[in-house]
Each structure stands twice: as structure tokens, then as C-alpha cells.
Amino acid sequence: MAQFNNLIQVITHFADEVVATEHLIQMRWNGNITCVHCNHDKIYTLKGATKRFKCAGCRKQFSATKGTIFENSAIPLQKWFAAVYILTSHKKGISSHQLAKDISITQKSAWFVLQRVRFALKSGSFNYTSTDTIQCDETYVGGKEKNRHQGKTDKVERMLSRRAQGLPMKAKAGAAEKTAVFGMIVTGGMVKAEVVQNTTTETLTGIIEKNIQPGITIVTDDYKSYRKLQQNYTHKSVNHSKGQYCKNGFHTNGIENFWSIFKRGIIGIYHQVSDKHLDKYIDEFEFRFNNRKCTEANRFDKMLSLCNTRLTYAQLIAE
Ligand SMILES: [Zn+2]
């Protein structure tokens, strides 16, 4: 199988749509094509310029892209694959404006391509072992400047700055202007983050309990919503308000590093992300971060293997 270590190789190799389709079939089914309608494993390949299959069970036909993010797209796979390569290999991602120019499609199409790829990147898995330490933290992103009263902006900024210093947040009302994101990272391992409606004990503990088994060592800062963690976990907290960043070897540097990469990407590349779509950008940054030790080629193929999920424009807008 071909290995792709740079964008030129991807574009050159997949210039032929037949070659691109074969690669997709390989990544998607790994040699054992199954029916996308009924999962039957006896499949005939039909004759014709574009590869199509027919199921021996339900007799229905389907193409190689049926049921994937590439389905019913007028954009050739060569351009899709270039977009996948760019998005999975550029550390901070790429804006739809830039991608549109780079691969010669409209900005609207580029936006849709990127949203579909992000959708497929949503992994959901979070792996750790019982001896791992998991760092948990929350942060705030975005904010609609134009809808915001100047005084409120300052209030939110003040609150965030107080929060960063570990001081109590008095300006609670202003917090609604920014979107809260909660994240968990295995020290030296993978990260999982999501948008949260608020940062109460109930919300944050709920997510932690859903993802992390009792007894695990969890490190947080001294925010009050984490205080109850000691009931079910070995809870270590770092007292940022007292200028403490490492206590007996425990720290939250991993999750703070992820927030920093994420925020630099959001500010530098995407400028303004609507709350509605923020989760998809988180998935994108998560995928790159969690596969940071893979080669470019492996990351590219890994993404293609995740393409068995189709997001239509209507769903994307409706969400
Ligand atoms: Zn079938």
C-alpha cells in the first residue's frame, strides 16, 4: 500500500479517480466488502466506468462512497483526500477560505468539506490504564463581541482573569457570554474534551464519572466544582491561587498545553467559531492531538477508515 508523506504525493497519487476509489475501498472495508444496506457479505462488483457493487442478499446496489462523508459529492476524491491530508497534518488546521483557494473549490464547499471531515473524526474513545493520572480542567472560548455590551466584555475578561488566577468568580452572570469547554487528559496520553452548558459540580462530576472509573488519580486546580471528586477518586489539586503549579509531582500542564494549542488554532485560523459548531472543532483538535505520535501517512489513512458516517448539509445546518 502506498504511503503518503506529503501533500504532493497525495495529489499526484489520487489524480486518477479510480485509484482514489480503490484506496477508499481498501481503507473502508479492508478487503471484505459488506452491504451498506443489510451488512450481507456476498457482494458482486458491477461492470462500468464507476465502480458499483450489488448485494447478493438484498439485491440493492451501492457505490464505494455510499454511507460515507464523500457520498453524493461533486468534488473529486482527489480534492477530498487533499483536504483530509491538510486537516489531519496541519497542527492548527485550516480555514475554509484558505482551503477553497488551495484546492480550487468555493468557500461554501470548503466549509462543508471541513465540517464533514471533522464529523468523521469524532472518535469518542478515551483510553487509560488504572495506574494513569488524569488531568481535568475547564476553559472558556469565544464570545459574540458584537452582541456584547462593552462593560460586560470587561466584566467577563475580569472574571476569566480571576478564574485563571484561581480566585473566586464573582461575575457569574457574564460567563454566559463565553462557551465553557471541559477537558480530560491522560498524563502523556490522550485527550477528550466537550462543550458544557455550565461548570457546576453536577455537570463536571457527571462527565468525569461517565468517562473515568472510580479510584483513578485525578488532578485539577482548586476550583470548587472539583471538591467532591475525593469521594470516588484519588483527587490531587494544585492551588493556582497560591501560585502553585506543581504539587508532589502532580500538575495540570498537559490539559493546559492542549487548551493553548486549541485556542491558538481557534484564534489564529478560525477566528470566530459559533457555539453550535464548537464541538466539531474540538473533535478536530482532539484527533490531531491523540494521533500526534502517528506518521502523517498513518493519520491520513486512519481518518479515511473513519469515513463510514455521512453528514448531509441539512443535518449539519439543523444540528
Ligand atoms: Zn444488502
- pLDDT higher than 50, residue 172: no
Q: Domain for residue 1, yes or no?
A: no
Can you tell me whether residue 182 is helix, strand or coil?
Answer: strand
Ligand 1 geometric centre to CA of 287 (Å) = 32
Distance 34 CA to ligand 1 centre (A): 8
Residues 80 and 215 both lie in one domain: no
The domain tally of the chain equals 2
Residue 120 domain-assigned (yes or no): yes
Answer yes or no: do 107 and 168 share one domain. no
Instruction: Tell me, in angstroms, the distance from the centre of ligand 1 to residue 113's CA.
Output: 28
Domain check: are 100 and 201 in the same one? no
286 plus 298 within the same structural domain = no
Residue 2 lies in a domain: no
Whether residue 263 is found in the same domain as residue 155: yes
Task: Read off the DSSP letter of residue 47.
Answer: P
Say whether both 19 and 158 belong to one domain. Answer: no
Give distance in angstroms: CA of 19 to centre of ligand 1. Answer: 25
- Among all chains, which residue has been given the C-alpha cell 495529489? 11
Same domain, 185 and 115: no
**Quick one: 277 and 148 in the same domain?**
yes
Q: Are residues 310 and 272 in the same domain?
A: no
| pLDDT confidence tier of residue 83, bands split at 50, 70 and 90 | very high
Kindly report the number of other CB atoms within 10 A of residue 150's CB atom: 8
Instruction: Kindly indicate the confidence band of residue 71, based on its pLDDT and cuts at 50, 70 and 90.
Output: confident
Question: Does residue 187 lie in a domain region?
Answer: yes
Rounded to the nearest whole angstrom, what is the distance from the C-alpha of residue 63 to the centroid of ligand 1? 12
- The answer to whether 48 and 286 have CB atoms below 8 angstroms apart is no
Is residue 181 included in any domain, yes or no? yes
pLDDT of residue 315: 66
Q: Which residue range is the domain that position 21 belongs to?
A: 7-124+293-318
State the average pLDDT for the chain. 84
Task: Please tell me the distance between residue 53's alpha carbon and the centre of ligand 1 in angstroms.
Answer: 10
- Distance (Å) from CA 60 to ligand 1 centroid: 6
Instruction: Examine residue 61 and state whether it is found in any structural domain, yes or no.
Output: yes
Q: How many residues does the chain have?
A: 319
| 58 Cα–ligand 1 center, Å | 4
Q: Residues with Cβ < 8 Å from 48, sequence gap 6 or more?
A: none
Residue 306 or 41, more confident: 41
Ligand 1 centroid, distance to 56 Cα (angstroms): 7
Please give the distance, rounded to the nearest whole angstrom, from the Cα atom of residue 254 to the centre of ligand 1: 46
Q: For residues 112 and 223, state if they share a domain.
A: no
Report which residue type is found at 55.
C
Task: Please tell me the distance between residue 50's alpha carbon and the centre of ligand 1 in angstroms.
Answer: 19
Distance 36 CA to ligand 1 centre (A): 7
**Are 242 and 306 within one domain?**
no
Helix (H, G, I), strand (E, B) or coil at 55: strand
Q: Which long-range contacts (CB under 8 A, 24 or more apart) does 208-217 make?
A: 208/136, 208/184, 208/233, 211/126, 211/184, 212/128, 212/134, 212/184, 213/130, 215/130, 216/128, 216/130, 216/132, 216/133, 216/134, 217/132, 217/133, 217/134, 217/250
pLDDT tens digits along 190-208: 999 999 988 999 999 999 9
203: nearest Cα among 175, 179, 173, 182: 182
CA-to-CA distance for 141 and 37, rounded, in angstroms? 41
pLDDT score at 254: 94
C-alpha distances (whole Å) from 123 to each of 184, 218, 305, 307, 314 are 15, 22, 12, 11, 22
* CATH code for the domain of 167: 3.30.420.10
The separation between CA 20 and the C-alpha centre of its own chain, rounded to angstroms, equals 25
pLDDT-derived band at 42, boundaries 50, 70, 90: very high
Q: Is residue 214 part of a domain?
A: yes
Same domain? 285 vs 137: yes
Q: 272 versus 225: which is more confidently predicted? A: 225
Report the distance separating Cα 199 and Cα 221, nearest Å: 13
In tens, the pLDDT along 116-161 reads 888 888 765 788 888 999 999 999 887 654 443 444 454 555 566 5
Any domain includes 118: yes
How far apart are the CA of 43 and the centre of ligand 1, in A? 8
The mean pLDDT of 99-127, rounded to a whole number, is 88
